[in-house]
């Protein structure tokens, strides 16, 4: 993987809602899982495009808490895909300097998949070139609910003074507590909604909703969007004088 080139725009964290795999496959007369496999291959290309574009953190939305509503065939196929991806790519991710983390509720996931996730996190824990976070069985509201529960437990046990709870407290209980907030959120496939993704963290993120289906999303288009970010005027509620 290429060496990191710091972003002059301050961009360091890009989050991606990888949408359009199923439609991409159906347009080709193939089953939806064919598109998901194509989408998984696309992740590697975008991951390698991060350092040249100054992106230190990449977070991808792989499976939401709402995706369990899909057919059993698709859900089962996705879970097998995740296991296969980790098994196949683990060594390459480690050797290319990628640190992998998973966010989301692991309770409902297959124990074998959770074991693979834990092993990959441990295997890549010393890497620092790119931080890849995979949101798996993740939902923004679910994350906030789980964080609030942990916070409440600390208040009840006396570990946390409720009078000191403020907007800086809750992020310490979120799945992403070790990550910076995303600067840019990209959603592919022409849909213009955030789908319960990083609700708290993306309060001041810039958004790009693009028509490209995820399996067709290229490193070149990724570079174009990161460059476009640098031209935005980010005031965070202030007014430039």
Is there a catalytic annotation at residue 110? Answer: no
Q: Which of 21, 53, 67, 183 is catalytic?
A: 67
CA distances from 215 to 46, 47, 57, 78 (A): 11, 14, 21, 15
Residue 30: CA count within 13 A, CB half-sphere: 13
β-strand pairing of 184-187 with 130-138: unpaired
Backbone CA torsion sign across 108, 113, 115, 116: negative
CA distances from 187 to 6, 16, 204, 212 (A): 24, 6, 16, 9
Is there a catalytic annotation at residue 137? Answer: no
Residue 67: CA count within 13 A, CB half-sphere: 24
Strand partners, 185: 15, 207
Distance CA 64, CA 140 (A): 9
Residues identified as active-site: 19, 67
């Amino acid at each position: 993987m290429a060496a990191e080139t710091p972003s002059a725009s301050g961009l360091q964290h890009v989050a991606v809602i990888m949408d359009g795999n199923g439609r991409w496959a159906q347009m080709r007369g193939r089953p939806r899982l064919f598109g998901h496999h194509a989408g998984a291959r696309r992740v590697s290309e975008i991951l390698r495009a991060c350092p040249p574009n100054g992106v230190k953190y990449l977070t991808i939305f792989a499976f939401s808490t709402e995706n369990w509503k899909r057919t059993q065939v698709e859900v089962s196929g996705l879970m097998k895909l995740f296991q296969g991806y980790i098994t196949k790519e683990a060594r390459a991710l480690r050797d290319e300097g990628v640190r992998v983390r998973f966010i989301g509720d692991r309770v409902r996931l297959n124990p074998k998949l959770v074991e693979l996730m834990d092993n990959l996190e441990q295997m890549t824990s010393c890497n620092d070139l790119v931080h890849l976070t995979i949101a798996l069985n993740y939902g923004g509201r679910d994350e906030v609910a789980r964080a609030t529960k942990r916070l409440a437990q600390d208040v009840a046990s006396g570990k946390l003074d409720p009078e000191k709870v403020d907007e800086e407290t809750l992020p310490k209980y979120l799945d992403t507590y070790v990550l910076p907030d995303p600067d840019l959120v990209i959603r592919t496939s022409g849909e213009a909604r955030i789908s319960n993704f990083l609700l708290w963290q993306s309060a001041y993120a810039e958004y790009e909703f693009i028509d490209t289906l995820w399996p067709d999303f290229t490193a070149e288009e990724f570079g174009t969007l990161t460059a476009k970010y640098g031209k935005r005027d980010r005031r965070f509620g202030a007014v430039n004088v």
